[in-house]
Structure 1
Amino acid sequence: MFNSILLVVCIIPLALYVLKMRKYKFKTKEMVVIAMFSAMSYILSLIPFVRYPQGGGINMFSMLPLLLVSVLYSREAGLTAGLITGTISLLMGGYIMHPAQVILDYTIPDMALGLSDMFGKDDKKRIIFGSLAAILLNTTSHFLSGVFFFGQFAPEGMNPVLYSFLYNFSGHGVEGVLCVGIMAVLPLANLRKVASLQ
């Protein structure tokens, strides 16, 4: 019963995305960039700095392309790139326990990275705070999946909530902060000008 309720809650963001995208028209260049950045994100996720048991860990800045898409183009582009990346990850060997777990591990986290422009994209500080918030949403989704579906992997006597927190925030969270650090030094205004050229 609980898993069914959780599944319904997880479907809500996907339904909102579908409703939003019904009116959105992608330009050709935007579609090409979405495809390229999604592929880059997936490829970077295959290069680990630190690998944890049961997957996870710190990868080579795999979140950075998804954070950049919405800053360079639009939130819709960022959400779509995240959806594509998550789907590729799932199809290339994702671990499936329950439909809600699939959404919490492969759909919502990557799509959340497309919200990096949530506080605006005309000021670097706003972009940094938006990116940090997107990272928090990403990591929280993985954390919830860990609590609800992977608690059995916690060491004996360790609270599953604490285990999931340590596991996910020391992996996804650290990688996300490193990616935001890179964004802080990138010339984002210049990159946006180049991205807007036809």
Structure 2
Amino acid sequence: MRNTKIRLLAEAAVMLALAIALSYIKIWDMPMGGSVTLLSMLPIILIAVKNGTGWGVGTAFVFSLFQLLQGVMSGNVFPYCQTLAIVILCVAFDYIVPFTVLGFAAVGKKKFGMAGVYVGIVAVCFIRFLCHYITGVFIWGQWAPEGMAKALYSLLYNGQYMLPETILTLVAAVLLLRAKPIRNLMGLTK
């Protein structure tokens, strides 16, 4: 039992480190935050698939804290947050919730198998998009071009990086999880 917990913790730590490292490899970086990364969400999703939702959510929560730290260190976050309520909204909906939700990607695995995982990946990426969309409307919408609705601006801005990020993550997950050695390593059956 103790060795199993240590192994699970080690796997989560390695995948967390990989996710953090991949988040620094940006294929496309947006000017006001957000980017298409080299599959930074995938290691978090894989922990959820292999070790369950509990481990996935725990690992994803820690990942969200690192994403918050990255955002703070970039200087793109708090200078634009004028009140405590806006800071809380930004921290919650640009960092904690959207990155923690990644840990729920495999919630449908038990009932629907790998199809449930693939639908789960799209679902958590969509929820992540919705979180960024909300802050885009209520915080970042002030940078919308004159005459453009904040909602449309947020949809277009966040869609520019979240759609490619979702597609890349889903395609990589499908390809990776179809490979027999990976399936065996992850304890998945056909």
Q: TM-score, normalised by structure 1?
A: 0.79
Q: CA deviation at 1:115?
A: 0.9
Task: Provide the secondary structure at the position in 2 that maps to 1:114.
Answer: helix
Q: CA deviation at 1:150?
A: 0.8
**Other-structure match for 1:125:** 115
**Other-structure match for 1:83:** 61
AA of the residue aligned to 1:103: A
Matched, 1:191 2:182: yes
- Where in structure 2 are the equivalents of 1:134-173 lying within 5 Å? 134-173=124-163
- State the superposition RMSD in angstroms: 1.9
Aligned counterpart for 2:70 among listed residues 77, 92, 99: 92
Deviations along 1:124-179, whole A, 9 cap, x unmatched?
22211111111111111111111111111212221111111111122123202211
Partners of 2:150 and 2:18 lie apart in 1 by 33
**Other-structure match for 1:102:** 91
Matched, 1:30 2:8: yes
Partners of 2:163 and 2:93 lie apart in 1 by 16
Deviations along 1:4-53, whole A, 9 cap, x unmatched?
xxxxxxxxxxxxxxxxxxxxxx8111111222212211211111111111
| Gaps in structure 2 of 5+ consecutive residues | 82-86
Q: CA deviation at 1:113?
A: 0.9
The 3 A distance-change label for structure 1 pair 162 and 37 is same
| Gaps in structure 1 of 5+ consecutive residues | 1-25
How many residue pairs align between the two structures? 171
Deviations along 1:89-134, whole A, 9 cap, x unmatched?
2223422331121011111111111111122156222211111111
**Other-structure match for 2:24:** 46
Q: CA deviation at 1:190?
A: 4.8
**Other-structure match for 2:84:** none
AA of the residue aligned to 1:77: W
Q: Which one has the bigger helix percentage?
A: 2
The list of structure 1 runs, each at least 4 consecutive aligned residues, that deviate by more than 4 angstroms after superposition, is none
Deviations along 1:50-81, whole A, 9 cap, x unmatched?
11111212111111111111101110111111
**Other-structure match for 1:58:** 36
AA of the residue aligned to 2:125: I
Q: TM-score, normalised by structure 2?
A: 0.82
Partners of 1:28 and 1:192 lie apart in 2 by 22
Task: Provide the secondary structure at the position in 2 that maps to 1:92.
Answer: helix
AA of the residue aligned to 1:85: F
Task: Provide the secondary structure at the position in 1 that maps to 2:109.
Answer: coil
